[in-house]
Amino acid sequence: MNRRRLPLLGLRAFEATARHLSVSHAAAELCVTPGAVSQQVKLLEDLVGVPLLRRKGRSVELTDAGQVLCPALTQAFQTIELTLNVIARGSRHDTLKLCLLPTLAEKWLVPRLSRFHGSHSHLDIQLMTSFREIRFEAEDVDMASFMGKDLPDGLEGLRLFDDAFQPVCSPAYLRDNCQLTETADLAEATLLHSVRRMDDWPRWLSLAGAPQLRPQRSLSFENSSLAIQAAIDGLGVAMVQCAYVKEPLKVGALVAPFDLIGQGDNGYYLVWSTSRSKSPAFQSFLQWVRQEVGRGAN
């Protein structure tokens, strides 16, 4: 096939689908609709003249031709990624790229960055947010966040804080809606959740001796940052990680009506690849984060 006629969109769609064995997962990775992925794969199959995938309900499997094509494409795309990353890293000067969980970036790191830039004004920080796991071998990212018990192979990390959580609300909500003097009073409250941490309220209520408590109403949000803001705005009582609300509690934007704090097994980490060389910008930033953690500012 002539190089000028290579169906690059179809090749990307097929490779992602074959790697995940899922059209929907491929669509999420490529930031398109499942229908667009299926259409591109169909155009590729029409062009090469053989089926590459078999559709089985919501799942797919590779045909013989697909099994031949998939590893070749994956290797080719990885080679392109690695080459571009090498070029990008070689052209960067005093720049550090971070990819963190959204709430960790917004509620933990960003409020502290002024202290870092006060003494490292020559260093640039490029901060991205994502819930996905970062592949350091194929992405131009220096550091990322990780939540878990043990670090994956090939990664080093610094533990930022423990997974501790507690209920919080605004003083106005406590004054105008319900007096939370005991756990049972939460049945009259609006409970605020992060959809990514739906187990926190049941775990805390179980620790508080009220596992069967059912609130009159609840609101769910995409992440903890939105739940925290909803609590500040007086929408209800949010269950949030303690590390994210120390400043709002300190200045009185939030109050903690109960002393009980839930404790999970996981920790929140800043992680990096063991195999990647460490730039001066990397070393300076890591030293500063260690100081932040050590001073008890988290």
Give the per-residue pLDDT at 204.
Answer: 97
Average pLDDT over residues 178-200: 92
Range of weakest confidence among 96-110, 126-140, 152-166: 126-140
Where are any strands of DSSP class E within the chain? 53-56, 59-62, 95-100, 124-129, 143-148, 155-168, 190-194, 217-221, 237-241, 262-273
How high is the pLDDT of residue 95? 82
Q: How many residues does the chain have?
A: 298
More confident residue, 94 or 114: 114
Average pLDDT score over residue span 162-180: 92
91: pLDDT strictly greater than 60: no
Using alpha carbons only, give the angle 63, 66, 72 rounded to the nearest 5 degrees. 155
Res 298 pLDDT > 50: no
